[in-house]
Amino acid sequence: MTQCCINPSILSADFVNLEAELQRISNADAVHVDVMDNHFVPNLTLGLPVVQRIQAVSPIPLDAHLMISDADRWAPGFADAGLASVTFHAEASIAPIKLARELRSRGSKAGMALRPATPVEPYLDMLPELDMLLIMTVEPGFGGQAFLDITLPKIRRARAAVEGSGLGLAIQVDGGISEDTIARAAEAGANVFVAGSAVYGADDPAAAIDLLRKKGSQALRPATE
């Protein structure tokens, strides 16, 4: 299993001072950018032009999570913008294998996300096409939700499949990640953690990132020995 990575979500940041907010998390592994279209999820956040500007000023790589309909049409544009990682939802893609290959061909890592009730088993054969599998630990669309422990068995099954295949696939979790929940997710097999309010709600976001990374790494150790 790869190292513990902390990707703060700017959904919880101050959008009026976004460039300064990015500097406050410069010790993170990546910036998690939530793109919502008011169709796939009820909320509306950022579009590609704003993401391009974030890409231009961010001190660390961008990790986009596209909570949008018609991902096959729109996701490649985010890869063209130079983002390090682009994640689309399986539920929003007609041809997920083709889309994953297109994202990779345009220079981004390809991620695929599953809502809490979407089973992982139908997608296990396409794991070699992915760099990351995002298992949502809340319903997508809003920050500040409570972690759903019901997703832990799915994370375990995904980790077992990844280890059985010998792939270096990252397993990301998003939703309700905090000091109290990160260890449970890490023990289940996740190694990339999206945290919004747990980082930006802290007095010192950089210190909060360090603490989350420490707690996640400690929980990962038994699985790597």
Annotated active-site residue in 29, 34, 37, 131 = 34
Tens digit of each residue's pLDDT (9 = 90 or more) over 96-145: 999 999 999 999 999 999 999 999 999 999 999 999 999 999 998 877 78
pLDDT tens, residue by residue, 47-72: 999 999 999 999 999 999 999 999 99
115 within 8 A of 140, measured Cβ to Cβ: yes
What pairs with residue 189 in β-bridges? none
pTM of the model as a whole: 0.94
**Which among 29, 63, 131, 174 is annotated as catalytic?**
174
* Cβ neighbours, 10 Å, residue 49: 8
- Cα distance between residue 125 and residue 100, in whole Å: 13
Tokens of 149: 């422990």
- Distance between first and last Cα of the chain: 10
Query: In Å, how far are 33, 74, 151 from 47, measured between CA atoms?
Result: 10, 10, 29
Segments in 81-174 forming alpha helices (H): 96-105, 152-165
**Could you tell me which residue, 222 or 215, shows the higher pLDDT?**
215
| Tokens linked to 29 | 């592994």
Q: What is the pLDDT of residues 177-218, one digit of tens each?
A: 999 999 999 999 999 999 999 999 999 999 999 999 999 999
pLDDT band at 224 (very low <50, low <70, confident <90, very high): very low
Q: How sure is the predictor about 221, in pLDDT bands with cuts at 50, 70 and 90?
A: low
Sign of CA dihedral 70, 72, 76, 78: positive
Nearest-angstrom CA–CA distance, 196 and 36: 15
User: Could you report the per-residue pLDDT of 10-35, keeping only the tens digit for each?
Assistant: 999 999 999 999 999 999 999 999 99
- pLDDT, residue 1, reads 47
What was the pLDDT predicted at 2? 59
62, 83 in Cβ contact below 8 A? Answer: yes
Which pLDDT does position 157 carry in this prediction?
97
Q: Whole-angstrom Cα distance, residue 71 to residue 53?
A: 21
Taking the C-alpha atoms of 25, 28, 29 and 33 in order, what is their torsion angle to the nearest 10 degrees? -40
Q: What's the rounded Cα separation, in Å, for the pair 112 and 73?
A: 15
For residue 225, the model assigns a pLDDT of 41
- Catalytic residue status for 63: no
pLDDT tens string 80-94: 999 999 999 999 999
